[in-house]
Amino acid sequence: MFASLVLASALSSSPSVQIPFERYRLDNGLEIILAEDHRAPLVAVDLWVHVGSGDEAPGRSGFAHLFEHMMFQGAEHIGEDVHFDVLRKLGATSVNGTTNSDRTNFYEVVPQNQLETALWLESDRLGFLLPVLNEKSLQNQRDVVRNERRQRYDNVAWGKERFAVNAALYPEGHPYRYLTIGKHEDIEGASVDDVRAFWSSRYVPSNATLALVGDFASPKAKALVEKWFGSLRTEPAPKKTSLPTPHLKASSRVDVADPFAKLVRVRFVWHGPRNLDDDDLDLGLFTSALSAPGWGRLQRALVVERPLCESVFAFESSAGLSGSVQIGATLKPGTDLGLVEKILDEELTRAKESEGVNQVEINRAQRRTEAAFVFELDEILGKAERLQSFNHDVGDPGYSAQYLERLRARTPATVRAAAHKWLDQPRVVVVSRPAPPMPPTPGATGPAPAAPPKTSATPAPATTGGAP
Amino acid sequence: MNVVVLAAWLVGAGPPAVATGPEPVRTVQPPPAPERPFVVPAIQTGAVPGTKLDVVLVEDHSLPAVQLRLVFPTGSIGDPGDKTGLSGLCARLVNEGTARLDKVAFEGALADLAASVDVGAGVEQSYLSLHSLKETWLPTLDLAVELVANPGLREDDLQRVRARSLAQLQQQRGSAAGIAQRLQGRLTWGSTHPLGALVTEASLSAIGTKDCAAVMAGWRPDGARVFVAGDVSMAEVTAALAKRIERFHWRGQTTKAPSVPAALFDPLLDGATVTLVDVPGAEQSVVVVAGLGPARQASDHEATEVMTAILGGSFSSRINMNLREKNGYTYGARAGMSYLKKRGSFTTSTSVRTDVTGKALQEISNELQALRTGPVSDIEVARERDGSLLAFPASFSTSSATLDSWSSLFFYDLPKDTLKKTPARLKALTKADVERAARGHVPKSFRLLVVGDASRIRAEVAAHAAAGTFGKPGPVVVVDADGQPRLP
């Protein structure tokens, strides 16, 4: 009674992922995306500023994110540190902001009758941040951001590894080198003048996009947007940073001593394509076929059929300037690292060859992406983020259907070709090992230089590893 | 050098723009537009023919998707004392596949359907959940029901999931946050209470496939409840379930979890107010302040929630504004009630920079005392009361959110008009109600767990223990990640 199940597996039709929307610009260059959705009496307000840690200057790592924090510290007319307070009182939910290498977003979901207050708050910080900017609140947020770094990276297992990966991929001077969170000493060194300069040059209306999704009437929303944002300054948008894609000249190994890790983890890392290149789609499918639960090639080889590892992973992560492809495993205690590296290499080689990643695996990965697109439309904030991200990446908020079409057009041949193209290149092998406690970071309240991870160049991809 | 870099950057960016000066119209918060009357979205209830399996449905055709959760009133509170972690490990084992389909085949079949199916165990209930597109929901339901009706329960699968659990246990002991999570149950409920029991190598190793077969024999349709949201009708749901229960010959009564006993502190093991776990080299100290709280069914529930929201329920709360925005000790601090079926607990937690651990503990204690004995302001009450009231429609923003709101009524055995009455109850709250809840529900004494670098924080933590900052004065007791006493 189940025989037909697997055969009848292709989705007969592709569910619609079209989000009706309208896009226009104010005279000052601020871009607006509107999408009505009347299922609930709510509006998602989602402001993207097209600047991220990828736009940081050398010596200023972590600054875009620190700046994002300063955007919550108040503005001229609304007052100091009241953003969350005002929104809480009127029943807003999902109030936050985030920074990545490409963009910074600020969002809240408000009751439909409070849209104007959300626009009042957002327009004040975009237009009038500087008059209330002061050293005291900056010092406070430097501390808060450094606490964030401690909580997410410095005081947990495998935080050091994340820095080691980017340090191996990106040379000194490349804005991806120190991750979006940045170095302690750079965060500590950020000044009020830096904030002022960043706001003046980067947070201009012409470098931002405001998306509203939810229960509003578009003509009324347009009038409110014009009322609050229309008078903001008109400045040219800054030029986007453009850097040559970095290349690894030779493969290398990096050993990371991690006092909070109790298990060994190994990770192979390559440079990858930029966001939404064809190769990006291919490598996303390729890594899905390696990492999917149960049937994924690395899962079978290292977790299910030979239970050597606690977990495995494979993913492709792409951003505006470049990306990376990473595969690896967290070993069970007592498992031989050399054996795991050997199996990782064998599986990788097999997956790239002609008996490798096949149509069934690719269909599964494609369908999973399609289903995820449908599921995320359930939330108005999810819709807003979808419109914003395609608008940011390809200049078309309604790119979903075309994206899925492109994804469906990928074939085993294109996937394997992309895998060869990127994964036959030099790579970095990063091994995190449990280590005894480190002495406390000097100057917990002052500049804190981190010890660089040990790096050694090796002539060829390493297929065997030493014992711990 | 910094100056040079900055200068170059400014030159490249063009002249800094000048703000055009204040705009008076912006100094006043805009008034809200008219509110639209809000009605709590209704649910449909039904039953699967020929069973005592109840169905709760939120029908919603806006997306071609279905979410279903089959909830069994059984969970880890029923784990035997020598097999702590039984329910959790068995749920992992069940996820490894059915008698017919092993892990690789089962996950492959799900992937062909672009669906997900998951089995999990909580303290007082366990669940089978599925999420799929409408088009594939029936074959997905086949797989889901097969998973709990005819689980694989293979010996080699158990070996594998147990080995992974053992590795994760080892890792949990490695970081401050992992250790705090591990010890929180015993901090709150006592080390001889079932919720204070720790999963260990010994308890995991004592569990066999027969134990899991017994656990799964207690997951039966009668006495369970199905919660469904999405693009299906009640007739479709009940017919689909009836057919599958028949097909899998899946019958019988669900084992009900025992009720959670009152906190059970052991004078010898739990005598100390302050416990410290040493993580040498920790950059931050994880702080957990635990106490007991009222049950969800308490008549002053809304007042209690507003009270704890003022303390630690949001960014604007006292504890976050103090520890983060005023002092810069942390990335964030939270406090609030958690509710089991019939019992509640009160937890305040944060992660603070190692060198300010003592100062942060003092601030937390001050805030708890101030809330218990001092006034709350009209502004605070208005913010949290009105905020909850106005955010109420957001709890029904999607069909799955609506279902979650409704399912909590079933879990807590609350009257079916509870959601309908919530706005009026919130609206009626006064400052005096909130202060009364603070007097009644903020404990006079707490139990404190600090996980951090003892070489740098022990003296400060010991000073608070001796001074009785959080409860009965006494020594700080140093334990390891398993709660075992360490000699000083």
| pLDDT, tens only, A373-412 | 999 999 999 999 999 999 999 999 999 999 999 999 999 9
- Grade residue A456 by pLDDT with cuts at 50, 70 and 90: very low
CATH of residue B226's domain is: 3.30.830.10
Q: Does the CB of A250 have a partner CB in chain B at under 8 Å? A: no
Over 50: is that where the pLDDT of A5 sits?
A: no
**CA–CA separation, B216 vs B224, rounded Å?**
13
Q: Tell me: do A362 and A396 sit in the same domain.
A: yes
Across the range B261-280, mean pLDDT stands at 90
- Grade residue B5 by pLDDT with cuts at 50, 70 and 90: very low
pLDDT of residue B8: 26
Nearest CA in chain A to B395: A93
C-beta atoms of A6 and B109 within 8 A: yes
CA distance B17 to chain A (A): 5
Is residue B380 a part of any domain in this protein?
yes
CA distance A111 to chain B (A): 7
Q: Tell me: do B223 and B324 sit in the same domain.
A: no
Of all helices (H) and strands (E), which one includes residue B227?
strand B225-230
* Residue appearing with tokens 């708050």: A121
DSSP lists the bridge partners of residue B63 as none
Tell me the ipTM for this assembly.
0.92
C-beta atoms of B107 and A11 within 8 A: no
C-beta atoms of A128 and B175 within 8 A: no
Chain A residues whose CB is inside 8 A of the B3 CB are none
Q: Does the CB of A153 have a partner CB in chain B at under 8 Å? A: no
Chain B residues whose CB is inside 8 A of the A92 CB are 387, 391
Q: Tell me: do B215 and B325 sit in the same domain.
A: no
C-beta atoms of A148 and B331 within 8 A: yes
Tokens of B271: 């005598």
Q: Tell me: do A200 and A325 sit in the same domain.
A: no
DSSP lists the bridge partners of residue A46 as A107, A211
C-beta atoms of B108 and A364 within 8 A: yes
CA distance A97 to chain B (A): 13
pLDDT of residue B375: 98
Q: Tell me: do B279 and B212 sit in the same domain.
A: no
Q: Tell me: do B161 and B197 sit in the same domain.
A: yes
pLDDT of residue A162: 96
Q: Return phi, psi of residue B299, to 5°.
A: -70, -20
**CA–CA separation, A376 vs A389, rounded Å?**
13
Global confidence as pTM: 0.92
Q: CB-CB: which of A1, A112, A380 is closest to B36?
A: A112
Tokens of A385: 């983020």
- Cα dihedral A224→A225→A226→A232 (10° resolution): 130
Q: Tell me: do A305 and A340 sit in the same domain.
A: yes
Q: CB-CB: which of A92, A154, A295 is closest to B283?
A: A154
C-beta atoms of B2 and A40 within 8 A: no
Nearest CA in chain B to A310: B164
Q: Does the CB of A334 have a partner CB in chain B at under 8 Å? A: no
Q: Tell me: do A164 and A79 sit in the same domain.
A: yes
* Greatest extent of chain A over all pairs of C-alpha atoms, in Å: 71
Across the range A180-209, mean pLDDT stands at 97
CA distance B102 to chain A (A): 9
pLDDT tens by residue, B370-406: 999 999 999 999 999 999 999 999 999 999 999 999 9
Average pLDDT of chain A is 90
Is residue A219 a part of any domain in this protein?
yes
Q: Does the CB of A354 have a partner CB in chain B at under 8 Å? A: no
Across the range B181-191, mean pLDDT stands at 96
Q: Which residue has the higher pLDDT, B17 or A217?
A: A217
pLDDT of residue A460: 31
- Cα dihedral A115→A116→A117→A120 (10° resolution): 130
pLDDT of residue B477: 94
CA distance B266 to chain A (A): 31
pLDDT of residue B486: 82
Query: B173: domain range?
Result: 44-247
Is residue B91 a part of any domain in this protein?
yes
C-beta atoms of A77 and B131 within 8 A: no
Is residue A243 a part of any domain in this protein?
no
Residue B379, C-beta contacts closer than 8 angstroms, at least 6 positions apart: none
**CA–CA separation, A121 vs A73, rounded Å?**
12
Q: Tell me: do A107 and A201 sit in the same domain.
A: yes
Nearest partner of A87 among A119, A65, A48, A130, judged by Cα = A119
Q: Are A45 and A210 in contact (CB under 8 A)?
A: yes
Is residue B14 a part of any domain in this protein?
no
CA distance B370 to chain A (A): 21
Percent of chain B with pLDDT over 90: 91
Q: Does the CB of A277 have a partner CB in chain B at under 8 Å? A: no
C-beta atoms of A91 and B388 within 8 A: yes
Over 70: is that where the pLDDT of A467 sits?
A: no
pLDDT tens by residue, A204-229: 999 999 999 999 999 999 999 999 99
Q: What is the tally of structural domains in chain A?
A: 2
Residue B419, C-beta contacts closer than 8 angstroms, at least 6 positions apart: B40, B405, B406, B409
Q: Are A289 and A321 in contact (CB under 8 A)?
A: no
Q: Tell me: do B288 and B241 sit in the same domain.
A: no
Coil, helix or strand at residue A77:
coil
pLDDT of residue B271: 82
Q: Tell me: do A147 and A261 sit in the same domain.
A: no
For residue A262, the tally of other CB atoms under 10 A from its CB is 19
- Grade residue A440 by pLDDT with cuts at 50, 70 and 90: low
Sheet holding A104-111, edge to edge: A22-25, A31-36, A208-214, A42-49, A104-111, A93-99
Q: Tell me: do A268 and A185 sit in the same domain.
A: no
Is residue A464 a part of any domain in this protein?
no
Tokens of B114: 């672009």
Q: Tell me: do A365 and A433 sit in the same domain.
A: yes
- Grade residue A321 by pLDDT with cuts at 50, 70 and 90: confident
CB pairs under 8 A between A and B: 307
pLDDT of residue A317: 93
pLDDT of residue B18: 43
DSSP letter, residue B101: S
Is residue A238 a part of any domain in this protein?
no
Tokens of A400: 């979903």
Q: Tell me: do A47 and A156 sit in the same domain.
A: yes
Q: Tell me: do B473 and B438 sit in the same domain.
A: yes
Q: Tell me: do A286 and A192 sit in the same domain.
A: no
Is residue A237 a part of any domain in this protein?
no
Is residue A200 a part of any domain in this protein?
yes
Q: What is the tally of structural domains in chain B?
A: 2
Q: Are A422 and A271 in contact (CB under 8 A)?
A: yes
Across the range B306-319, mean pLDDT stands at 97
Over 70: is that where the pLDDT of B17 sits?
A: no
Q: Are B303 and B435 in contact (CB under 8 A)?
A: no
Chain B residues whose CB is inside 8 A of the A151 CB are 284, 330-331, 351
C-beta atoms of B108 and A294 within 8 A: yes
Query: A149: domain range?
Result: 22-229
pLDDT of residue B207: 98
Tokens of A411: 């074939």
Chain B residues whose CB is inside 8 A of the A439 CB are 281
Over 60: is that where the pLDDT of B175 sits?
A: yes
Is residue B164 a part of any domain in this protein?
yes
Across the range B102-128, mean pLDDT stands at 97
For chain A, the residue count is 468
Chain B residues whose CB is inside 8 A of the A444 CB are 283, 353-355
Residue where a domain terminates, one of B247, B264, B298: B247
**CA–CA separation, A363 vs B111, rounded Å?**
9
Chain A residues whose CB is inside 8 A of the B119 CB are none
Tokens of B217: 């024999």
Alpha-carbon Rg for chain B in angstroms: 26
Chain A segment 159-198 residues within 8 A of B by beta carbon are 189, 193-194, 196-197
Over 90: is that where the pLDDT of A346 sits?
A: yes
Q: Tell me: do B202 and B101 sit in the same domain.
A: yes
pLDDT of residue B488: 58
Across the range B65-89, mean pLDDT stands at 97
Over 80: is that where the pLDDT of A96 sits?
A: yes
Q: Tell me: do A218 and A301 sit in the same domain.
A: no
pLDDT of residue B12: 30
pLDDT of residue B9: 26
Coil, helix or strand at residue A326:
strand
Over 80: is that where the pLDDT of A16 sits?
A: no
Residue where a domain terminates, one of A229, A264, A286: A229
**CA–CA separation, A76 vs A124, rounded Å?**
7
Q: Tell me: do A313 and A186 sit in the same domain.
A: no
Is residue B414 a part of any domain in this protein?
no
Q: CB-CB: which of A41, A201, A293 is closest to B393?
A: A41
For chain B, the residue count is 488
Residue where a domain terminates, one of A229, A262, A277: A229
Tokens of A267: 């990770």
Nearest partner of A303 among A292, A312, A295, A290, judged by Cα = A312
Burial label, B50 (beta-carbon count in 10 A; 0-12, 13-18, 19+): exposed
Half-sphere exposure of B441 (CA within 13 A, CB side): 30
Average pLDDT of chain B is 93
